Amino acid sequence: MAMTSRFPSSFEPNPVTRALSRARAAGQPLLDLTVTNPTRAGVHYDPEILAPLAAPQSLIYEPVPLGLATARAAVSADYRRRHVEIPPDRIVLTASTSEAYAWLFKLCCRPTDDEVLIPAPSYPLFDHLTRMDGVRAVPYRLDYHGRWALDVASLDDAWSDMVRAVLVVSPNNPTGSVLGAEELQAIGERCAERDAVLIVDEVFADYPLRNGVETAAVMPSACLSVRLGGLSKSAGLPQVKLGWMALDGPEAQVANAIDKLELIADTYLSVSTPVQVAAPALIASGEAVRAQIRARVRRNDAAIRAAAGRHPAVDVLTADGGWSVVMRVPAVRPEEELVLTLLEQDHVLVHPGYFFDLADGCHVIVSLLTPPDTFDTGAERLLDRVDG
């Protein structure tokens, strides 16, 4: 009798993942253009950057559900660096942005009944996070016409009486798009009218791809809104596990949400004392790492656009910020077949567009965080393959 998996299909390895596992098991050298871990991407860190984790205060355990006052004040001050005013008492610490989403789903939604609206294209993590909390994810569209923009009609079409939150990622992963003030206002007005929470993931806000791009979201005031951030991207420290939420909106709604989040946080107490004690120093040290990453992603963005300019059939879509770019390539074969050919014949790893729910054509996604030598060689092979 054939065995069937007990796990939902969304948790099963896909053909690209299986092919990658085979290549790595065989010891095949790869040009990995999907790197998103700064600690494995040639970024230089001060050897003492993690020393604050060993502060003597870390030996004392005094759990504070929403986070230590010193750590929350440090996050508040870091928002001011981006000209955003969020008082410390409106900040909630989490172990990661993923955990922040899970807590917000618990705050907003009833399992099995309620829905959240998620952008498409966007990172597939939302499918897993919503499923694990018993929440239904319903997509709304971002459309590309020379730049990415919110499809307001698709947002309205997706809305039902069961919607409890709208998720926005700005800059988006992988499109690199930034929602403008008018677009956020349109979403905020609908959230206020329909008693939904606006959740804005800004983890890539420190990485505009050119001067003059404004990545700090202009939040609407009429609805409860939550900004998400963390050290993983803002300081290039994914291993220390510190994220945060910053709440804004009508005073009564913010106070009610903070009270409920305090109960949720007290139930888990997941953020370690050492990282909270070290938070002011870790946040302060982030600029040196951010500067390197900004230089890297801008350099690689310019390089891929220059290289693609020699291949007229390839279009590198406009991006405003973040660590990735989307490339639209000739649709002479399915995306999965193209990505498997690149992996197995050219030894280049990229993401297919369908991973991120990209529609209308053939797309591949590459990470701008990739070390330059690998990036340039891999991009050359990629472009030769798709335009050969």
Q: Which residue type does 249 have?
A: G
Q: What is the C-alpha to C-alpha distance for residues 117 and 187, in angstroms, rounded to an integer?
A: 11
Residues 263 and 122 in one domain: yes
Q: Is residue 160 part of a domain?
A: yes
Same domain, 17 and 97: no
| 275 shares a domain with 348 | no
Summarize the confidence of residues 340-365 as an average pLDDT.
94
What single DSSP character describes residue 118? E
Q: Would 332 be classed as within a structural domain?
A: yes
Number of domains in the chain: 2
* Domain extent for 380: 13-43+287-386
Tokens (6 digits) for 133:
């909390």
- Return mean pLDDT, the chain: 94
The CA distance from 340 to 362, in Å, is 14
Percent of the chain with pLDDT over 90: 90
Q: 254 and 330 share a domain? A: no
Q: How confident is the model at residue 12 (pLDDT cuts 50, 70, 90)?
A: low
Q: What is the per-residue pLDDT for 388?
A: 67
Lowest mean pLDDT among 17-21, 218-222, 262-266: 17-21
User: Are residues 214 and 352 both part of a single domain?
Assistant: no
CB 268 within 8 Å of CB 323 = no
For residue 106, being part of any structural domain is answered with yes
* Span 184-190, average pLDDT: 97
Asked whether the beta carbons of 249 and 191 are under 8 A apart, the reply is no
pTM: 0.94
Burial state string for 338-373 with b = 16 or more CB within 10 A and e = fewer than 16:
bbbebbeebebbbbbbbbbbbeeebbbbbbbbbeee
CA pair distance 219, 181, nearest whole angstrom? 8
**156 and 274 housed in the same domain:** yes
